[in-house]
A and B are shown apart, each in its own frame.
Chain A
Amino acid sequence: MRRILAILLENEPGSLSRIIGLFSQRAFNIETLTVAPTEDPTLSRITIATRGDDKILEQILKQVNKLIDVIKVTDLTERKHVERELILIKVLAMNDKTRTEVKRIADIFRGSIIDIGKQIYTVQLVGDTDKINAFVETLNHETEIIESVRSGVVGISRGEKALRV
């Protein structure tokens, strides 16, 4: 089962490598991982999308929590939450027909064209993983995908609940 973990940890050298090392050392899976400092620069926030049954997830949460740098860890998928991913995708747009079609698809998915080259459109889209997958699939039908980059999932719980020190 897919889970999204949010981890708040000390923004120290080596703290990210400890998280990544832990996942590989204990053969836990990482689907995506994003990391950046928070508004408090002494803290980093990591979002990891992983897969595992309840028993594995329990071990992952405990093992992550055991790391000295980690202040808090939570499974966002346990309750209501919002998750988003960003994709930048470069597609071939050689003729009017394709250009129109790419523009139309971007509009439908509420993406935006952020760069144009002689034969290239670069499109940006924000959404959950399913939406982005659908977008990529649709574009793939219409034209050739030259390059794409996904940010990995970030997430936050809905309502009052917050992950903070």
Chain B
Amino acid sequence: MTDQLFSGAEMVVKALSALNVKYVFGYPGGSVLDIYDAIFQQDEFEHILVRHEQAATHMADGYTRATGEVGVVLATSGPGATNCVTGIATAYMDSIPMVVLAGQVATTLIGDDAFQETDIIGCSRPIVKHSFNCRTLEDIPNIIAKAFYIANSGRPGPVVVELPKDLLIPQNKGVYSINTNVEMRSYNPTAKGHPKQIKKAVKIISEAKKLVVYSGGGIVLSDSSTLLTKLVETLKAPITNTLMGLGGISGTHDNFIGMLGMHGSLEANKAMANADVILALGARFDDRVTNNVKKFCPDATIIHVDIDPTSISKTINAHVPIVGLVDIVIKQILEELKETSYTPDEETLNAWWDQINQWRAVNSISYEAEKAGGKIKPQHVIESMYRITKGEAYVCSDVGQHQMFAAQYYPFAKPRQWINSGGLGTMGFGLPAAMGVKLAFPDSHVICVTGDGSIQMNIQELSTCLQYDLPVVIVALNNRSLGMVRQWQDMVYGGRHSSSYMESLPDFVKVAEAYGHVGIQINELSELDQKLEEAFAIKNKLVFLDILVDEKEHVYPMQIRHGAVDEMWVKKGVKA
């Protein structure tokens, strides 16, 4: 019997099924029409048609951040592929596993500047974990299997696979075979931390007088929050999270001292600055955390655990580098603590906590409540949102002031609940990301916190929401301006609001209605809570809440530029 033969397009579909893909996010076009034809004739996975390829990447990304499954994007050659670039970069910066299948002109035309030809491998090279060209159709299944393996192992990240048209057409057929147990001689990420380094780290931890645990997105990506919580409770140490790490430990846990960094809590940044030992777990000492690296915690001994060796000692020198998967390393640390019968010294610990509680008492994450009849404060909206959703919603954020308010005023109980573009800071991320989450968790509250600037960067996806019945709640904190830009202009540029004022805003209520959704505007403080509750009670329709907030509000606290990690403005004109 001869082997059954398949076209490259059929192989793509078969490979995706073999890899248990449930959704593919994409947009058809000339070079990938054969794949779309093959998708039409199968029912193993669903294709979600977006309105712009950038949204496909963010939607896949949101789906992945909420579920942990690799997101899959399908785009045509040329503009389809280049529209994915921002989404690929977003995923790359936040280490999100993603496979982008990009069409390409036929191999016979590559290099001829053919219609819709772009070197997408070249365009995306600095923002992918890896990329593949397919040169024969028999290569396609194993290249896709490799792409998934690379995307989702070690430090995760996006992988681009370029599929030329002539390998996909039904006239060319070949034998399909796939090996999903990928092994590569050039790629073997480390899993366990070096035992000597673990011993060294535990010794330093045991001798610490002012220990801080600083954890990041690595905890979320590796589902290590239970282990992290156990570690923190064993150490009885304060813990701070990065923006990407929120939910790594419950935001209401007694040991949690808030987010650190540029808009972090005073207590978190003070604890870092005064620590004698910093245990960094799956975090990368980003510049939005450290402030001026030259002034960053000069007296602290730094233990840095990360899966990516390049993250260690890149910006801040680590005294004890530990390369490994953060869940495995935490287990190793817990075992070593047990073996050495670690018990924290109560007196030292109490002194450290007394100091932290003094910083906590400043109550740096606070705002001046509205006066009667005054404009709604954006922070108030987030607090009400937290109360109404009982802290259980998935909160997908865009980028700007609203992002920081959401991070500060919505304590996340669990990892994967807080979804935002932390590294790249991509405006337009929020709505498509929320759609991806809603697809995975249709029965949960899924909120897109956004602003009047960000929402307009992917507002066309309201149409996709209607097509696939994705009733997310859009909470637009509308301040009629690009709030974060405006804040910097107020603070650094003498109040000159250069191009940060959004004139000619659309009527968002009508926009929502035009797309077949519910639009609600909230302008009066007295109506805020009631209207929010009404909105969250609507389960079967997308609700767009256009909330007019105080445009003069700034995000505080805020690190003082070029200062140490704990040099902060706690409110307008007031230094810590």
Contact = CB atoms under 8 A, between A and B. Distances in A.
Interface in A1-24: 9-10, 13-14, 17-18, 21
Interface stretch (B44-52, B121-129, B221-229): B121-129
Contact of A66 (B125, B131, B133, B308): B308
Contact of B185 (A18, A62, A165): A165
Contact of B125 (A21, A63, A70): A21
Contacts of A21: 125-126
Given A17-B122, A63-B310, A68 B129 contact: yes
Nearest to B122: A17
Contacts of B310: 59, 62-63, 66
Nearest to A64: B310
Nearest to B125: A21
A66 B309 contact: yes
A118 to B, nearest CB: 41
A18 B129 CA distance: 11
Most buried by A among B125, B126, B129, B186: B186
Contact of A69 (B133, B135, B186, B309): B186
A115 to B, nearest CB: 35
B122 to A, nearest CB: 7
A129 interface: no
B186 A58 contact: no
A65 interface: yes
Given A58-B313, A63-B310, A68 B126 contact: no
Interface residues of B, number: 19
B40 interface: no
A9 B186 CA distance: 8
Most buried by B among A21, A55, A62: A62
Contacts of A69: 130, 186
B150 interface: yes
Contacts of B126: 21, 25
Interface string A66-98: 101111000000000000000000000000000
B314 interface: yes
B186 A70 contact: yes
A165 B184 CA distance: 12
Interface in B254-309: 308-309
Interface residues of A, number: 20
Contacts of A62: 309-310
A58 B379 CA distance: 44
A18 B125 contact: yes
A55 B126 CA distance: 22
Contacts of B125: 14, 17-18, 21
A10 B130 CA distance: 13
Given A59-B314, A68-B187, A69-B186, A13 B130 contact: no
A59 B133 CA distance: 28
A69 B133 CA distance: 13
Given A66-B309, A68-B150, A10 B133 contact: no
A55 B313 contact: yes
A71 B314 contact: no
Nearest to A60: B310
A112 to B, nearest CB: 40
A13 B133 contact: yes
Interface in B100-146: 121-122, 125-126, 129-131, 133, 135
A10 B186 contact: yes
Nearest to B162: A14
Nearest to A68: B130
Nearest to B155: A66
Interface string A17-43: 110010001000000000000000000
B162 to A, nearest CB: 10
Nearest to A24: B126
Interface in A100-135: none
B110 to A, nearest CB: 11
A153 B133 CA distance: 31
Given A17-B122, A62-B310, A63-B310, A71 B150 contact: no
Interface of B: 121-122, 125-126, 129-131, 133, 135, 150, 184-187, 308-310, 313-314
Interface of A: 9-10, 13-14, 17-18, 21, 25, 55, 58-59, 62-63, 65-66, 68-71, 165
Top 10 nearest A-B pairs by Cβ distance? A68-B130, A62-B310, A71-B186, A25-B126, A62-B309, A21-B125, A68-B187, A63-B310, A66-B310, A10-B186
Given A17-B122, A68-B130, 9 more contacts: A13-B133, A14-B121, A14-B125, A59-B310, A62-B310, A66-B310, A68-B184, A69-B186, A165-B185
26 contacts: A9-B186, A13-B133, A13-B135, A14-B121, A14-B125, A14-B131, A14-B133, A17-B125, A18-B125, A21-B125, A21-B126, A25-B126, A58-B313, A59-B310, A62-B309, A62-B310, A63-B310, A66-B308, A66-B310, A68-B130, A68-B150, A68-B186, A69-B130, A69-B186, A70-B186, A71-B185
